[in-house]
Amino acid sequence: MPELLEVENCVLAYDDIPVVKQVSFALETGSIGCLLGPSGCGKTTLLRAVAGFELLSSGEIRLRGQVVSHSGWALPPEQRRVGMVFQDFALFPHLTVAGNIAFGLRHLSERERRTRVRELLELVGMPGYASAWPHQLSGGQQQRIAVARAIAPRPELLLLDEPFSSMDAELREQLAREVRGILKQEAITAILVTHDQYEAFAMADEIGVINQGRLMQWDSGYNLYHRPANRFVADFIGQGAILTGEVLNEQHVNSELGIIPGRIPEGCAPGCKVDLLVRPDDIQHDDDSELRARVVEKAFRGAEFLYTLELHTGTRILCFAPSHHDHAIGEAIGIRLEIDHLVMFRQERQTT
């Protein structure tokens, strides 16, 4: 059985300048994917191509195995059974909440329409709001109604373009989780576009990190954090420091933090220089450890402090410590490595 959506070797260009370069990924029915990347990386352009608003320079897009876009041709958006939710609340101000949700249901009888609107209001947790007007709703409520309106006609695929970006970080994550629950209940396949990794983690099953039009890695949030495919993903996802190391043998590397075991990148002989990714959770504060580092910055995070520590070499690393370990700036504290998988990349500049 084919995947619901297949994007294969897609290239998109504006004025002959490619902004999406050879991107391929696939989504199974019921799965939520995310295109994540910095501003201008091409994620909206790619989403618009999936919707049918942009023409491909080359490549192919298939829905249920049927080609809907290929070089220079696109099945029009209204023939794709694709729903969309945008960043700015696109509710019709002159229609009530019920009128907005019913907008795409004109093919149904009056009774069926009323039943579906009631069902969706329940689903988005706003059963008493049928006759409210959009301006009477909060931003989060408006976006919930926008989602209800988009999924009312049961699209095969729902596309969400930065739907929560005008909200503050906490509400954004909460709404992303809620909308995930709604989509999962209705078994709707969806693609979210965002530059916010926490929103992506809260909502998506699979995330594609894009940089300058190229897909760097398509993977679960867990793997992007713990097994980044390259330096860009390692820097973009989560926090951490990059240390320099030198390969000692097939299993060990020598670094500013001592000799550490890890999987040596392919083609790296002893003596090869590598970059090591060290996450804040890889470093444990331990008063009894001989390895010490100086506190240069600290940020209170409630249960924890995020310490920026300087090693004797001058390199800075990050460390979470329970907030009852309240150390002063300038103090040298004991640290211990607790690295499960050491992530390392071959340094690009070397020739050996």
Ligand X SMILES: Nc1ncnc2c1ncn2[C@@H]1O[C@H](COP(=O)(O)OP(=O)(O)OP(=O)(O)O)[C@@H](O)[C@H]1O
- Write out the residues near ligand X by the rule CB under 6 A: 14, 19, 37, 39-45, 195
Q: Which of 43/62 has CB closer to ligand X?
A: 43
**Which residue, 336, 338, 339, 330, is CA-closest to 289?**
336
Which one, 6 or 161, has the nearer CB to ligand X?
Answer: 161
Please report how close the Cβ of residue 197 comes to ligand X at its closest, in angstroms.
13
Interatomic CA distance for residues 187 and 193, integer angstroms:
19
Q: What angle do CA 182, 225, 297 make, to 5 degrees?
A: 110
Phi and psi dihedrals of 115, rounded to 5?
A: -65, -45
Nearest distance in Å: CB 45, ligand X: 3
Question: Which tokens belong to 254?
Answer: 């020598």
What element of type H or E holds 259?
Answer: strand 258-261
Count of beta carbons in the 10 Å neighbourhood of residue 112: 11
Report the amino acid identity of residue 273: K
**Least distance (Å) between residue 43 CB and ligand X:** 4
The residues pairing with 299 across neighbouring beta strands, listed in sequence order, are 306
The set of residues, in sequence order, having a beta carbon less than 8 Å from that of 68 and lying 6+ positions away, is 52, 61, 62, 74, 75, 80
Q: Nearest Cα to 178, choosing from 134, 140, 135?
A: 140
Any residues with CB less than 8 A from the CB of 317 and at least 6 apart, and which?
241, 243, 257, 278, 280, 283, 293, 308, 309, 311
Other CB atoms within 10 A of residue 3 CB: 17
* Closer Cβ to ligand X, 51 or 145, answer by number: 51
Q: Please, which residue, 14 or 73, has the CB nearer to ligand X?
A: 14
Q: Tell me the closest approach of the beta carbon of residue 44 to ligand X, in angstroms.
A: 3
Question: Which residue's CB is nearer to ligand X, number 85 or number 318?
Answer: 85
**Tokens found for residue 188:** 């709707």
- Give the nearer residue to ligand X in terms of CB position, either 55 or 248: 55
* Alpha-carbon dihedral sign for residues 160, 186, 131, 128: negative
- Pick the closer one to ligand X by CB: 21 or 118: 21
Give least dist CB 42 to ligand X, A: 4
Q: Taking the complex as a whole, how short is the minimal distance between the CB of residue 21 and ligand X, in angstroms?
A: 11
The bridge status of strand 32-36 relative to strand 206-211 is parallel
Q: Is 14 or 300 the residue whose CB approaches ligand X more closely?
A: 14
Least Å from the CB of residue 19 to ligand X: 4
Choice between 37 and 163, CB closer to ligand X: 37
Q: How far is the CB of 195 from ligand X (least distance, A)?
A: 5
Residue 197's H or E segment, with its range, is helix 197-203
In the complex, which residue's CB is closest to ligand X? 44
Least distance between ligand X and beta carbon 275 (Å)? 26
